[in-house]
Amino acid sequence: MASKRKILISKDGSSFYVKDASKDFHTEFGYVKAEDLARKDGSKVITNTGREFAVFSSSFADDYKKIKRAPQIIPLKDVGAIVSETGLGKKSKVVDAGTGSGALAFFLANITKQVASYEIRQDFFEIAIKNKEFLGIKNLTLKNKDVTLGIDEKNIDLVTLDLPAPWEAVKHAANALKAGGFLVSYSPTIPQVMDFIAEIKKNNLAHMKTIEIIEREWDVDERKVRPKSQAIGHSGFLSFCRKIG
């Protein structure tokens, strides 16, 4: 299935995601024939109205943007901070709690050895399963379970919490982590952060820092350069902790 997904990009940055390249693809700039979509990556294709695009197979990043969403997902700016601050890699094992649509779990599974993700809501769990199938991820285990009742996995490198009451899972996260492992909580409000950190101090964990990331995109048109009018402002606070024993 993944091989049928294509991306069309023109020099001006216009882009289109082609979910099924076995059919002609129609755009506001005309249509691209299926036989042209099947050409090798990097080929130039022309619509029936003369618009030129480059065609290539979709990447994980392209497919990731097309997953079905139910609850609000963690923005990529925050996902990037989690990855860089914890140093995740191909040998890492992760537990994610509060699966939602699965966005964070999918991204982490794409770069690590193994991910287990807990979701208490049946409706969100079913959406995550469909998204997992769409992305073709094999090293992710989705669990329709309440993480505040316990974590099955042990010797984990990272536990992420995207929960209304993350403090309720701290004890179980501490038990699941290996010494030196990371616990990261994502919360939209400061009172949640305060209660989470208060619980951290009762366990064998150290609070390293809490951060907020603001992203501002810029328009660049020759020498006309200015910030775009709307930045990606507050999404949530990231609290980073480590198991110290």
77-98 pLDDT per residue, tens: 999 999 999 999 999 999 999 9
pLDDT tens digit string along 185-231? 999 999 999 999 999 999 999 999 999 998 888 888 888 888 887 76
Number of domains forming the structure of the chain = 2
Q: Which of 34, 58, 82 is the last residue of a domain?
A: 58
The pTM (predicted TM-score) of the whole model is 0.88
Supply the range of the domain harboring residue 154: 67-243
Pair 151, 84 in one domain: yes
Find all residues with CB under 8 Å of 150, minimum gap 6, and list them.
172
> Where does the chain show beta strands of DSSP type E?
6-9, 15-18, 25-27, 30-32, 43-46, 52-57, 93-97, 114-118, 140-143, 156-161, 177-187, 205-211, 218-221, 224-227, 237-243
Pair 52, 81 in one domain: no
Specify the higher pLDDT residue, 183 or 214.
Answer: 183
Pair 34, 135 in one domain: no
65-87: average pLDDT: 92
- CATH (domain of 88): 3.40.50.150
At 125, the amino acid letter reads F
pLDDT tens digit string along 125-174? 999 999 999 999 999 999 999 999 999 999 999 999 999 999 999 999 99
Our measurement of the distance from residue 223's CA atom to the centroid of its chain's CA atoms, rounded to an integer in Å, reads 34
Pair 179, 125 in one domain: yes
Pair 47, 167 in one domain: no
Pair 39, 138 in one domain: no
| pLDDT given for residue 232 in this prediction | 67
238-242: average pLDDT: 98
Pair 18, 125 in one domain: no
Rounded distance between C-alpha atoms, residue 102 and residue 18, angstroms: 22
Pair 168, 122 in one domain: yes
| Residue 145 backbone phi and psi in degrees, to 5 | -140, 160
Rounded distance between C-alpha atoms, residue 69 and residue 132, angstroms: 12
> Where does 40-134 show beta strands of DSSP type E?
43-46, 52-57, 93-97, 114-118
- CATH (domain of 45): 3.10.330.20
Pair 38, 109 in one domain: no
Pair 29, 77 in one domain: no
Pair 124, 233 in one domain: yes
Determine contact, residues 124/99, Cβ cutoff 8 Å: yes
Rounded distance between C-alpha atoms, residue 173 and residue 64, angstroms: 27
Q: Report the first-to-last Cα separation within the chain, whole angstroms.
A: 45
Determine contact, residues 175/151, Cβ cutoff 8 Å: yes
